[in-house]
Copies of this chain bind each other. A is one copy, B any other.
Amino acid sequence: MASQTEENYLKSLFNLANEKGEVNISELASQMQVSMPTVNSMVKTLQKNGWLIYEKYKPVTLTPEGKKDAALVIRKHRLTEMFLVNKMGFGWEEVHEIAEQVEHIHAPKFFERMDEMMGYPTIDPHGSPIPDKLGRIQEINYLSLSDCKAGQLVKLAGLTNSSTEFLEFLNGRNLSLGIELTIRSKEAYDQSIVVSYLNHNSETLSEKVCEKLLVKVVE
């Protein structure tokens, strides 16, 4: 069974993997906020336990077992976030830190009961998919708001970043998942977009913000 530390490395590896499934030692070190030698030695441990493939001076790759175990940690994290929001009344900006701790609990019944109480949700409060019990993760292909054009009607469906600061920024503008946005215009100069929704008639969103908003085109 993975230690908390190992679970955290698995999660990062899963999230950092590129199309080929590869992760560089330096990326992993910066994500985990540890030095490269630390990653180097941990990577050897993870390999010994069958979670990844490592060759000197090459990027590492999770094994199928590694991917599965990583997805199961992510499952516990996202189920927890959803439980905190839906059953305990927390705001979506408050749940990450708590879930970061709860995800390491080893008690299948605990997470199964959460799942059951919520009616088996498939996405978390930030629109990210919740892996199933076998660690399979449903691929969702949302569009970034920054790739949309004036005139489109879109529905806010997910985020590429869920930092507290960004979530508080969204809260401040009454932006939450499910909201429909009408794209009024797009500024060619700085790629900012003017949208209207609810009682907000013309809210300007910077490119930096638009990139992080995932949407589904409604019409």
Q: Which A residues are closer than 8 A to B by beta carbons?
A: 84, 87-90, 94, 97-98, 101-102, 105-107, 109-110, 113-114, 117
> A87 contacts which chain B residues (CB < 8 A)?
87
Give how many copies assemble into the complex. 2
How far, in angstroms, from A113 to B102 measured CA to CA in the complex?
15
How far, in angstroms, from A102 to B87 measured CA to CA in the complex?
17
Q: Is the interface of A mostly helix, strand, loop or mixed?
A: helix
Partner of A94, one of B98, B105, B109: B109
How far, in angstroms, from A89 to B109 measured CA to CA in the complex?
11
How far, in angstroms, from A4 to B195 measured CA to CA in the complex?
48
The answer to whether B101 and A107 have CB atoms under 8 Å apart is yes
> A110 contacts which chain B residues (CB < 8 A)?
84, 88, 98
How far, in angstroms, from A56 to B24 measured CA to CA in the complex?
51
How far, in angstroms, from A117 to B84 measured CA to CA in the complex?
12
How far, in angstroms, from A118 to B84 measured CA to CA in the complex?
15
Closest 6 CB pairs of A and B: A98-B107, A101-B105, A88-B113, A98-B110, A102-B105, A101-B107
How far, in angstroms, from A114 to B102 measured CA to CA in the complex?
14
> A102 contacts which chain B residues (CB < 8 A)?
102, 105
> A88 contacts which chain B residues (CB < 8 A)?
110, 113-114, 117
